[in-house]
Structure 1
Amino acid sequence: MDYAGLDYRNIRFPVDRSLTDGERAGRYSFKKSGNASPMDFLSVINLNSNYIELVDRWYSVKGFNSWVGAGVLGLGVLLSFIIVWSFFFAPATVQRGALWFMMVFFLPITLGLIWAGWWLIRTECGRWTHYPMRLNRTTGQVHVFRQNGTVLMVPWKELFITRGEAKSPLSGDTYDLRAHVLDADGVTVRESFSLGYPSLLGNAQSIDKFWAFLQPYMEAKDGVERTYRHLKEGGYLVPVDGRKEGWRWSIARSFMLGAHWPCFQLLFSPFLGLNAVGRMFAMWTSKVPRWPEEVERASPVEADDPFVLTWRDNAPLGWWELWYPLICTVVGVGFFVGVIGWIVSDLWQ
């Protein structure tokens, strides 16, 4: 999966470097939204006349590192236990040389698996449920909740916004709407973050669609109305405004990758179901981000604002959005547990 820029030690996108030729060529103009059809890619938390709030690029894939990390950690613990138990409690007839070889050469590897599994789990669990971004149309400021809990505040017009690209051994080439904070020289990147991420099925053209959605809100005279109509006509707002997402949304969001292909959802239910479980655990163990008082004061929601939208305005999750994915989750997790149980019992025979 694509976790570019995320690590529990706050490793970020490459900074303290010059802009590349590709970034210059892919820069978006504040004055133009482009000709692409606008798409929000399920990234909006709430909307009103003063600001729009978005989730981070890792929110859509949350849960993957949790269940993979748990699997790697569990495998490491199991193999380490077998090696140590065999060394100390194996019958005297077993060759001691082979047992010493396992202790010296294989035990460090299994301990490395335990460390790697814990590292993966910590990229998502015990942190923040998400890392929101608030774009204030009224003040022209962008607020970004960093991975370490601090907040970046930068003027919208001072951002260098371009098409970002990342490579992952599992997901291949992925793209996002990348925002750079530049030094006074106008060429040195001091900080970077993703304004939008079209999920694993997105491509380079998807970023044009997200820019066509986001740019009018900040720049067009009728941007608030246009954005409101777009979100009101279809789709969902992310239910994490001051709260943790519930188990229903964790399941629905995990299976939305294959929303148009029910057979795909069932076929890959062991992976998507585990992702849903990992997502629930990551949300349960993480804290809800809170904006500082100065950010809240600068972005009030007017009582008579006709363009307010939150997750409470979402349509109810129906059969294909929730209940069918729930069945797939039960089937997939049950299949996975059965396979693991068969393997473990076979090892002990």
Structure 2
Amino acid sequence: MAISHDIGLFIPFKINRPLTKEEKQSRFVRGKRRKISGEATVLDLETVIRMNSSYLEIVDKFYPTKGYIASFMMAFCILFIIFFLAIAKTTIFNGGDLPSLFFVFFLCGGVVFYCMRFLLKDWFRKTHYPVRFNRKKQQVHIYQISGEVITVPWGDIFFTTSKQRISYCIVGHLLSEDKETVLNTFSFGYVGPREELALYWEFIRCYMEEDCLEELAETVLFCPPVEKQKEGYVAGLQRLMQIDSRGDWLLLVLNLPFALIESIARYIAMQTSKIPQWSQDVIDACAVEPNDPINIGAENNSPHRWRTVLANETREAYDAKNQRLKSANQKIKAKLDAKYGGKI
């Protein structure tokens, strides 16, 4: 199988290299139950775009932070353009030094050009780069940053942990025949604390390997509204403002000015980018049976999204949600215990 390599978004993935010791130690193993402490067995972490009995489509790791780097670059561009216009006005109307104006022009132009290189990695690209886990065909369809779509057997991917400065994400390596050399790398879903990755991996693994689709569907409470549409401004702002508890309200107020700036950059990124389109081969491979009992997408999202974002749900809604998650996780755990005999 010929494997083309992806380029990464901001920092290229390192390829044509051997697996590191850390990658081997942090490997997520297929066909094996993951040891997890606590009540939760799986977590989808709000990454599911569409879930049915045929495929599970999730966002890429760049989607949650889309607009973040662009907001800084946009601010720098605006500041240096305003600075140049102010100098130009003073020079032209007050008889200033023209050579100095040209120097400022090239200085500001260089900064703007440098910032635009990063802006254009976020703007005028794709709204997101999805990954489809095809349960029926046991394949993974990957929409690469380069725009190419590749399909790889589930069993041929080396999944492991990748450190992202102070947080972590799951990546998939496509290896050469020696099972040591990395030919391609793709990332997906979620960047966050390392302890949550085990729960997230178990969600993915259970979807592909276990008989608990109905229970998994019960754990999905929110789907990013990006399937066949561009994320709107309000949806983007909600993602940037979302907090976990009312104790974070003060932090939310302090962060609000930055969230508003970032939301503008995110909205521009979404509106100038194209919606990714799967190839016909992928669509055919992921054909959904009529009257599939599992069909989860953004249309199932709660109409009271702001309450969740601001951690201000009613006690009844909060308790109902937690009971739903607890019940689903208990059922999944019971099925895994029955299959693996409680062994990890």
Same fold (TM over 0.5): yes
Residue in 1 aligned with 2:176?
Answer: 183
Name which of 196, 212, 235 aligns with 1:223: 212
Alignment CA distance shift 1:33-1:278 (3 Å): farther
Residues 174 and 185 of structure 2 are in contact (CA less than 8 Å); yes or no, is this contact kept in structure 1?
yes
Other structure's SS at 2:242 match = helix
Name which of 185, 193, 211 aligns with 2:186: 193
Residue in 1 aligned with 2:335?
Answer: none
Deviations 1:162-214 (A, max 9, x none): 011122xxxxx22101110111111111110113313xxx2221211211211
Which structure 2 residues correspond to residues 2-21 of structure 1 after superposition, within 5 A?
A: 5-7=8-10, 12-21=12-21
**Which ranges in structure 2 are unaligned for 5 or more consecutive residues?**
1-6, 313-344
Q: What is the Cα deviation at residue 283 of structure 1?
A: 1.0
Q: What is the Cα deviation at residue 103 of structure 1?
A: 4.2
Partners of 2:225 and 2:284 lie apart in 1 by: 22
Aligned-pair RMSD on alpha carbons?
A: 2.3
Higher relative contact order (CA 8 A, sep 6+): 2
Which structure 2 residues correspond to residues 303-322 of structure 1 after superposition, within 5 A?
A: 303-321=290-308
Q: Which moved more, 1:283-292 or 1:256-265?
A: 256-265
Equivalences, count: 301
Partners of 1:88 and 1:245 lie apart in 2 by: 44
Q: Give the share of equivalent positions with the same residue, in percent.
A: 30
**Which ranges in structure 1 are unaligned for 5 or more consecutive residues?**
168-172, 326-349
Partners of 2:173 and 2:299 lie apart in 1 by: 33
Residue in 2 aligned with 1:164?
Answer: 162
Q: Which amino acid aligns with 1:135?
A: F
Q: What is the Cα deviation at residue 12 of structure 1?
A: 2.9
Residue in 2 aligned with 1:240?
Answer: 226
Q: Which amino acid aligns with 1:224?
A: L
Alignment CA distance shift 1:299-1:320 (3 Å): same
TM-score, length basis structure 2? 0.81
Q: Which moved more, 1:61-70 or 1:122-131?
A: 61-70
Residue in 2 aligned with 1:112?
Answer: 110
Partners of 2:245 and 2:137 lie apart in 1 by: 38
TM-score, length basis structure 1? 0.80
Which structure 2 residues correspond to residues 38-117 of structure 1 after superposition, within 5 A?
A: 38-91=42-95, 96=97, 100=99, 103-104=102-103, 106-117=104-115
Partners of 2:43 and 2:306 lie apart in 1 by: 24
Residues 245 and 311 of structure 2 are in contact (CA less than 8 Å); yes or no, is this contact kept in structure 1?
no
Other structure's SS at 2:196 match = helix
Partners of 1:259 and 1:180 lie apart in 2 by: 36
Residues 243 and 310 of structure 2 are in contact (CA less than 8 Å); yes or no, is this contact kept in structure 1?
no
Residue in 2 aligned with 1:272?
Answer: 259
